Amino acid sequence: GGHHPGREGDVFNARYQALRKLGCGAFATVWLCDSFPRRKKHVAVKVLKSREGFAEAAQDEVALLHCVSSMKKKDQAGENIVCLLDDFRMIGENGFLIPDSLPHACLVFEALGPSLRCLMGNYAAQGLPLPFVKKSLQQVLAGLHFLHQRCRIIHADIKPENVLLCGRDKSLQRLLPDTLDCVQRRELRLQGPGHDLGNHFEESDLMTIDVKIADLGSACWTYKPFSKEIQTQPYRALEVLLGLDYGTPVDIWSTGCLAFEMATGECLFDPQPGKYFSRDDDHVARIIELLGRIPPQIAFSWNKSTKFFSRPGALLRLSRLCPRSLHSLLHDRHRWTKPQLAPFASFLLPALRYAPE
């Protein structure tokens, strides 16, 4: 019950012809396909693994996506969320089922450009131009507002890989030709300056690119969380780290982390395990270094608090913290000026509140 062994040229559901593999993850393979016969257009077909757990997860994802689609039609809104066009089930290889496996759930989406992660890769550790960062964040937040308020959905995995680029007037094809996927671009960069694409796009070109939130594979209803363990580690909200019941603010925390990374080229929190402490210990410590002491009434309202804190509220396994402010981090390490710094900090710090409403 693993990945469907698709090949270029295969036809899925008598309608979608595979052109090339866009990516392969732990849960699914994504193919760029031609849609026919009605009218040829490119789509992205996500083929999920066929084991039982994946089939259940696919049912949840399809239900969430159908809710988004119906709300989009009803409200004429939600344009910053990737659109589900179709879904179907596909029998395994050779047309029969392997014992203990189930049909592969397949989701068909509009085909978009690469992810923010790919674009950020072209800027190394410098960060993207701030006007583009601001515009993209407005679109991400508009998408989240639609998910949270209209669909009652928590995305639960906002990160650069899950924000896709889409271009107007073929601007995206000009900037990031789809003959180079993200992996190939990374390999080219690693080969050294002679092979680097060197794409620092004109800001005016960048500003023609829009972004859309993708991948509801980890999402859940606001009133029915599916899991305590959500979000990719660097973007994980404090309440999730410490086992608190969570809500829509976890997506805003992740967006704050995304904002910092887009603007500086560096992760806001990149925790690492040590000999005597875990990655989660380090993560909580780095959050306290940047945002200050967690008030005891918050720290000790959480069921995992004894895993991290001693009775007075000090961290159990990490005693030497190095406090740093967001202002000093941006000014000293990234050489930001005060006019750049103030508006960015006034956006970021509320996104990282300890007791979000």
Measure the CA–CA gap between 76 and 70, rounded to whole angstroms.
10
Q: Is 70 exposed, middle or buried (0-12, 13-18, 19+ CB in 10 A)?
A: exposed
Measure the CA–CA gap between 196 and 186, rounded to whole angstroms.
9
Sign of torsion over alpha carbons 88, 93, 95, 96: negative
Q: Any known ligand binding at 46?
A: yes
Question: In terms of Cα–Cα distance, which of 285, 266, 262 is closest to 274?
Answer: 285
Helix axes 130-145, 249-264, angle to 10 degrees: 170
Question: Do 61 and 107 touch, CB atoms closer than 8 A?
Answer: yes
Residue 41: other Cβ atoms inside 10 A: 12
b/e map 300-315, b = 16+ CB within 10 Å: eebeebebbbeeebeb
Instruction: Report the SS3 class of residue 84.
Output: strand
Residue matched to tokens 């669909």 = 151
Q: Is 73 exposed, middle or buried (0-12, 13-18, 19+ CB in 10 A)?
A: exposed
Of the candidates 60, 100, 157, 270, the residue annotated as catalytic is 157
Residue 34 known to be catalytic: no
Measure the CA–CA gap between 263 and 134, rounded to whole angstroms.
9
Chain mean position to CA 41: 26
Question: Do 110 and 44 touch, CB atoms closer than 8 A?
Answer: yes
Measure the CA–CA gap between 15 and 38, rounded to whole angstroms.
9
- Write out the binding residues: 46
The catalytic residue positions are: 157
- Write out the binding residues for ATP: 46
